[in-house]
Amino acid sequence: MKNKELKKSIYILFLFFIANYGIAQDIKLIASVNKNPVATGDRFQVKFELNTSGAGFKAPDFSSFRVLSGPNQSSSMQWVNGKMSSSISYSYVLMAIKEGKFTIGSANIKAKGKTYKSDPIEIKVIKGKSVPKQQSRQQTQPKKQQSQSAGNDISRNLFIKLFVDKNKLYQGEQLIATYKIYTRMNIVNNDVAQLPNFNGFWTEDIELPSRATVETELYNGVAYNVATLKKSVLFPQRSGTLEVDPMALNVTVRIQDQSRSRNIFDQVFGRYKDVKYNIKSNTSKIKVMPLPSSGKPANFNGAVGNFSLTSSLDKDLVKANEAINMKVILRGKGNIKLLKNLNINFPPDFEIYDPKVNDRISATGNGITGKREFEYLLIPRHSGSFTIDPLTFSYFDPEKKKYVQLTSGELNIEVERGTEESSTTYISGSKEDVKFIGKDIRFIKTGSANLKEKGNYFFGSIPYYGLLGAPLLLFMIFVVARKGHESYTSDVVKVKSRQATKVATKRLSAAKKLLKMDQRNAFYEEVFRALYGYFSDKLNLPISELSKENISEIIKNKGIAENLIAELNETLDRCEMARFAPMSDVSEQQVYDQAVELISKIESGLK
């Protein structure tokens, strides 16, 4: 998606290049050359352009060069959005006659009652062909042909440059990488060929304006139309030497065709052709220094930059079982998005819920700045005076080259006795003692006697021996059954796990009754306990380790789908917050149905 947006931005950018889009700007006299460096014997053009009308132009000293032509004056006038703008330029064609570095001084001109000067330009002249001391009148090249020759040299007139604001920094310190395109050509089409991977860096792109701004910029004394293609904030994640990758574009440029044509219109107006060309930026080597080990605080978690820390409570006098909101704000500039949650020592009598994290962080031309807010929901379960210890946070300041320790003030809370103070409830499976009731006394029966013939005795018969052995057989069966039952019930963890669904179902049934009685807070409390109680029994988690993170991690390792885990966390969050603040996006019936469905699906997945 980001690549598509970048391609779209670059396409819009080139539309500005083609249309020569202009904006209102201050009056400037800009000096530029069409090539730098030049070789001895080469011709080059020096141009002085004023972005309004002016008079009284004075050229600088050209004694270090041979003047072949000039001053050649031209002016233009155009209407943009109903407003007229004008410009005037003076150009010279010079020849380099000796090697070395030479400076073309400032030209000046008067415009609107003031005198404006151009910046000097340094020209580097390298060895080329020899130039005779006495030279007859030169047959100068027409201006049109000169600009044509310069235009056909694509590599000098169209390229991408990578700039970084620093080449040496600490691990975790931010740097800004900027990719700019420089052009003096007519671009008719483009396509992104390669985007930088930024291996070894954590990156955040800086959002660029949807309407690209094209500016005139001098590079080695040559004036170019320049625009920013990509700008990113980089954070090196390891020490050593890292390389910022290049960016490349496939472009199609329109240049004048040098081949002869018999067409009279081509001979008068010129003949053009489209040429495909690949431009690729430079790379940049970055030396990343490791953070110093000396002086590193024990609680340092990788923060690099400049930060501040504050903490506050919405109230410090409450009754037992009333909610308190605690807010911790971390502000600063640096790798704030990579920081982990803070370690806070809360009183053991407080029920603590996972913090809600709010980021107001932005990436600008100055890097990543902003703040991260941690909002904790605290519920004191007993009355008394409590203190939340001061928070400590440490970071490395790359400008001071040392570690800084921040400490917030301690927070005191007075908890008065409420109408009802809750106690910790441990959910365990029920056990039943196995009892055997035997009959050891038989009463004398009265009535007619059941007499049998002599010799026909029950004693010694097969039924007799069967009944005689029956008690022993029944006893053995009883012993085996009892041992099996004891084995079945001796493992409390397995018993709780097997009965987890049954206990949760009972709690959900109780929650449904509360829902019908319109006891909203009690309903959410019961659903919350049903879900947490189910996972406490099913996963054998003690109360101290019973958190959403632990539950999510364990059931994920047991193969439960991530979408089901996300749905579980969402339901738990709703139950937590709904007990203290009204909710309108989901009804109580939907929460109940969702809880029943979650337990059923997770039970099936854990089998």
pLDDT at 43: 86
118/213 same-domain check: no
CATH of the domain at 85: 2.60.40.10
Same-domain pairing of 310 and 283: no
Range of the domain at 89: 26-131
Q: What percent of the chain has pLDDT over 70?
A: 77
- For 225-252, write each residue's pLDDT tens digit: 898 989 999 999 999 999 999 999 998 8
CA distance 562 to 584: 26
- Indicate whether 173 and 283 sit together in one domain: yes
**Which CATH number covers residue 232?**
2.60.40
In a domain, 574, yes or no: yes
- Looking at the 3D structure of the chain, how many domains does it have? 4
Alpha carbon distance 61, 273 (integer Å)? 39
Chain segment 401-453, per-residue pLDDT in tens: 999 999 988 899 999 987 655 444 333 333 333 343 444 455 556 666 666 66
Same domain? For 273 and 321 the reply is: no
Three-class SS of residue 215?
strand
Most confident segment among 194-208, 428-442, 518-532? 194-208
**Residues 386, 414: Cα–Cα separation, whole Å:** 6
Q: Residue 75: inside a domain, yes or no?
A: yes
Same domain, 163 and 285: yes
Segment 317-344, tens digit of pLDDT: 999 889 999 999 999 999 988 887 788 8
Average pLDDT over residues 458-487: 78
Q: Is residue 245 part of a domain?
A: yes
450 occurs within a structural domain = no
Give a yes or no: residue 201 inside a domain.
yes
pLDDT (0 to 100) of residue 426 = 33
Gap between the Cα atoms of 328 and 190, Å rounded:
48
Indicate whether 203 pLDDT > 60.
yes
What CATH number corresponds to the domain at position 314?
2.60.40.740
C-alpha–C-alpha distance, residues 558 and 561, integer Å: 9
Q: Give me the residue label for tokens 């001071």.
A: 400
Specify whether 168 is located in the same domain as 284: yes
Q: How confident is the model at residue 57 (pLDDT cuts 50, 70, 90)?
A: confident
Please indicate whether residue 108 or residue 266 has the higher confidence score (pLDDT): 108
440 lies in a domain? no
The residue from 79, 114, 131 where one domain ends is: 131
Does residue 355 form part of some domain? yes
At 545-584, the pLDDT tens digits run: 778 788 888 888 888 888 888 888 888 877 777 766 665 5
Angle between helices 588-606 and 520-538 in degrees, nearest 10: 10
Do residue 399 and residue 321 come from a single domain?
yes
pLDDT of res. 14? 52
pLDDT of residue 148: 42
- Residue 143 has a pLDDT of 40
The answer to whether residues 561 and 601 belong to one domain is yes
**In this structure, what DSSP letter does residue 237 have?**
-
Residue 374 CA to its chain's centroid (Å): 18
Q: What pLDDT does residue 549 have?
A: 83
Higher pLDDT, 209 or 380: 380
For residue 299, give Cα distances in angstroms to 329, 346, 405, 412, 544.
18, 17, 9, 23, 23
Q: Looking at residue 259, what is its pLDDT?
A: 59
Is it the case that residue 529 has pLDDT exceeding 60? yes
Residues 535 and 583 in one domain: yes
Per-residue model confidence as pLDDT tens digits over 582-599 = 655 678 888 888 888 888
> Among 222, 256, 289, which residue terminates a domain?
289
Give the pLDDT score at 372. Answer: 92
Instruction: Examine the domain organization and report whether 517 and 555 are in the same domain.
Output: yes
- Please state the rounded mean pLDDT for residues 499-521: 82
pLDDT tens for 255-314 read: 876 655 555 555 444 567 888 889 999 999 999 999 999 989 988 989 999 999 999 999
Is residue 505 domain-shared with residue 579, that is, in the same domain?
yes
Together in a domain, 320 and 247: no
Q: Which of 236, 258, 289 is the last residue of a domain?
A: 289
Residue 451 lies inside a defined structural domain of this protein: no
Give residue 405's pLDDT. Answer: 92
